[in-house]
Amino acid sequence: MSSTTTLSSKFQISVPKEVREELGWKAGQRFAFIPKGKSVVLVPVPELKDLFGMAKGADPSGYRDRNDRY
């Protein structure tokens, strides 16, 4: 999947249709831009409901306690 687009005079970028369809991106979805050197990674920001149950089965032992805080 290789597509190109152009940055508009208002600094907007349109995501090509084939990219949107393959990744399942929808209108109104939020994204984060993560700088990586001279490039950027564009990732969708997950909704809270998508994170529910993500740490199921995680072992909380070994985490530091909160006694060192003021």
**The pLDDT value given to residue 48:** 86
**The pLDDT value given to residue 1:** 62
Q: Which domain holds residue 11?
A: 1-49
Is residue 17 assigned to a domain? Answer: yes
Provide the CATH number for the domain around residue 14.
Answer: 2.10.260
Residue 44 structure tokens = 């969708």
Element (H, E) at 17: helix 17-23
Give the model confidence (pLDDT) of 9-65 as tens digits.
999 999 999 999 999 999 999 999 999 999 999 999 988 888 888 888 888 777 776
**The pLDDT value given to residue 70:** 64
* Phi and psi at residue 43, to the nearest 5°: -130, 140
Total of domains in the chain: 1
Is residue 4 assigned to a domain? Answer: yes
**The pLDDT value given to residue 8:** 96
